[in-house]
Every structure is written in C-alpha cells, then in structure tokens.
Amino acid sequence: MSGEPQRRGDEIHIAGSLVHARLAEVAQVCAAIATLPNADVVQASVDGRLVVVLEAGSARDIVAVLDEIRNLPGVLNVALVYQHAEPTAAMLEEMTP
C-alpha cells in the first residue's frame, strides 16, 4: 500500500472489498487502484474479480476510496466485504505469542 493512512482521530480502519471489472480493462483498473493512497489489489482473477484491501483513518475515508474505485473506467461493481476499526495505539502494540 502506498503511504500511511490519513488519521482522523485515534482509529485506523481496514477494509476488504470485491471489485468487478470488465475483462478487457482489468489491467487498467488494477493500475488505477494502485495509484490510490492506501489501496492494494491483493488478488485478481481471470474473470475480472479483484480483491482490494484499504486502510484509512475513518469509515468516511474508506467510503470515499470505494467511491473513487466505483467511478474508475472499466469498473462494473464494488462491494464492501469487511471493515474493521482498531484504536491506533492497539495497532502499534508489540504482538506477543
């Protein structure tokens, strides 16, 4: 993912989404998503489905990025599959087994 998520307050939001793109435009859609801050295409299928992970400082910021993706040429549909919010301090804590 490019850059650090913009933080509004003391939370970080992580979201997973499914993006369906036209087959002829999958590469262009992937490239366009890669230019968005804190968006990462983690999987692409041969039928035009993409799994995209987002990080942001608020739910509003997640929705804004989903709207940007929805408006990209070649995108047929965008669905939010999962969203999780965590206090920023908890994300910075050392993990212990």
Closest CA to 15 of 77, 74, 58, 68: 58
Q: Cα(52)–Cα(80) distance, rounded to whole angstroms?
A: 9
Higher pLDDT, 2 or 28: 28
Task: Write out the CATH class of domain 11-91.
Answer: alpha beta
Confidence grade of residue 90 (pLDDT, cut at 50, 70, 90):
confident
Note whether 65 and 19 are within 8 A (CB).
no
Select, from the ranges 2-11, 71-80, 83-92, the one with the highest average predicted confidence (pLDDT): 71-80
Higher pLDDT, 79 or 90: 79
Task: Tell whether the model's pLDDT for residue 4 goes beyond 60.
Answer: no
Confidence grade of residue 9 (pLDDT, cut at 50, 70, 90):
low
Amino acid code (one letter) for 52: V
pLDDT tens digit string along 50-79? 999 999 999 999 999 999 999 999 999 999
* pTM of the predicted model as reported, rounded to 2 decimal places: 0.82
What is the DSSP code string of the chain? Answer: --SPPPBSSSEEEEEEEEEEE-GGGHHHHHHHHHTSTTEEEEEE-TTSEEEEEEEEBSHHHHHHHHHHHHTSTTEEEEEEEEEEEEEHHHHHSPP--
